[in-house]
Amino acid sequence: DAGVTQSPTHLIKTRGQQVTLRCSPKSGHDTVSWYQQALGQGPQFIFQYYEEEERQRGNFPDRFSGHQFPNYSSELNVNALLLGDSALYLCASSLFQREVDTQYFGPGTRLTVL
Amino acid sequence: DQQVKQNSPSLSVQEGRISILNCDYTNSMFDYFLWYKKYPAEGPTFLISISSIKDKNEDGRFTVFLNKSAKHLSLHIVPSQPGDSAVYFCAASRVTGNQFYFGTGTSLTVIP
């Protein structure tokens, strides 16, 4: 049973560039959430996708956008990169329910902005 | 505004002894709490959860205690093993929501 997978594992970009990160959820899961984890901090919620729509969003600017595909996989896009966007980006998957469900995390993509 | 706080960045414990990791939260609307363990270069791994209708939940060596009036939860690991050495995050959510709020983590070192 494949867990949550993310690609790429590492990425280096320069300020002003755009980046796309990818996530495949755990088998049987239909909901994908994205988190940003800066050095020394806990994961911060960016947004969540279900049925190809953004369902919830944390306190992140519009430069952060996403997409979910019919096979439940998801992309996170960040435009106009800033140095402060350097972080570990985590994808978590779960099964959409009326009540909260445990989220399972992928290994993350380490983004470095120079 | 940090709604979930882990005030101890690190903790060292002898193998076989009890490890106690603490977490405080400020939002009284939170009613579902989890602990995650994270090894370097890996994503957080779910460890144990508790809903606000309980004050204790056990799973093997791991027990989570919830004190709603104090807005405090703790994770007890007994007995601690060297393989438990990792960063532990607590997280909170509303039962009717799916957004998790994480603390900043506590790095646990279990000394053989």
A-B contacts (CB, under 8 Å): 65
Following DSSP, what letter does each residue of B14-57 receive, concatenated? ETTS-EEEEEEE--TT--EEEEEEE-TTS--EEEEEEETT-SEE
| pLDDT above 70: residue B97 | no
Candidates B4, B6, B93; nearest CB to A100: B93
3-state helix vs strand vs coil in chain A, percent to 5: 5, 50, 45
Is the Cβ pair B46, A102 closer than 8 Å? Answer: yes
Specify which residues B13 forms β-bridges with: B110
Cis peptide before A8 (omega within 30 of 0): yes
More confident call, B88 vs B41 = B88
- C-alpha dihedral sign at B39, B65, A91, A64: negative
Strands A109-113, A10-13: pairing kind: parallel
Determine contact, residues A90/A84, Cβ cutoff 8 Å: no
- The alpha carbon of residue A18 and the mean position of all alpha carbons in its chain are separated, in whole angstroms, by 15
B49: containing domain: 4-111
> Is the CB of A105 less than 8 angstroms away from the CB of B97?
no
Q: Which domains can be identified in chain A, with CATH numbers?
A: 5-97+104-113 (2.60.40.10)
User: Tokens representing A109?
Assistant: 């993509």
- Chain B contacts of A99, Cβ < 8 Å? 95-96
Residue B76 has phi, psi (to 5 degrees) of: -110, 135
> Which residues of chain A are within 8 Å of residue B46 when distances are taken between CB atoms?
102-104
| 3-class state of residue A43 by DSSP | coil
Tell me the per-residue pLDDT of B56-93, one tens digit each, with 9 for 90 and over: 999 999 999 999 999 999 999 999 999 999 999 999 99
Q: What is the DSSP letter of B89?
A: E
Which residue type, as a one-letter code, is found at position B81?
Q
Structural domains counted in chain B: 1
Confidence of residue A95 (pLDDT cuts 50, 70, 90): confident
Say what the pLDDT of residue A103 is: 85
CATH of the domain at B78: 2.60.40.10
Min Cα distance A100 → chain B (Å) is 5
